[in-house]
């Protein structure tokens, strides 16, 4: 779990029944940046997806995992020293099989770091 170690949630709000916006603060001193990459820290893509997973899981009050990724794009890299504050926007719908169809973005102002479209399943 990355929450409270890699990042902290500053604020979470529900814009509608199926939309979440979370304001998070990254920890630029986290050990992961020592290897990714020394002197040029970048949030690994898989970590960005895990942040989406954890925020949605907390909101749903269910343990979930990524079950499919239809589209994942990283238009910009997240440097925690440059952009320690981010917004995570998640829209989801529940499928008949109790999985969740999800679209998500990690952004700051007009800069998009992650665009995700896929599914999460309860485990």
Q: Which two tokens stand for residue 75?
A: 């238009």
User: pLDDT digit string (tens) for 15-55?
Assistant: 788 999 999 999 999 999 988 787 889 999 999 999 999 99
Q: Alpha-carbon distance 97 to 94, whole Å? A: 8
b/e burial code for range 39-53 (CB count within 10 A of at least 16 → b): eebebbbebbbbbbb
102 CB-side CA count, 13 A: 30
pTM of the complete model: 0.94
Sign of CA dihedral 44, 87, 15, 4: positive
Domains, in order of start, for the chain = 7-122 (3.10.129.10)
CA 103, CA 21: separation in Å to the nearest integer? 12
Question: What pLDDT was estimated at residue 14?
Answer: 87
Q: How confident is the model at residue 10 (pLDDT cuts 50, 70, 90)?
A: very high
């Amino acid at each position: 779990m990355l929450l409270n170690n890699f990042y902290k949630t500053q604020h979470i709000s529900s814009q509608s029944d199926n939309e979440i916006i979370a304001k998070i603060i990254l920890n630029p001193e986290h050990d992961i940046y020592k290897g990714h990459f020394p002197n040029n820290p970048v949030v690994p893509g898989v970590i960005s997806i895990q942040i989406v997973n954890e925020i949605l899981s907390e909101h749903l009050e269910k343990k979930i995992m990524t079950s499919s990724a239809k589209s994942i794009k990283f238009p910009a890299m997240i440097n925690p020293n440059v952009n320690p504050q981010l917004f995570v926007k998640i829209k989801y719908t529940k499928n008949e099989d109790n999985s969740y169809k999800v679209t998500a973005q990690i952004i700051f102002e007009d800069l998009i770091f992650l665009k995700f479209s896929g599914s999460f399943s309860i485990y």
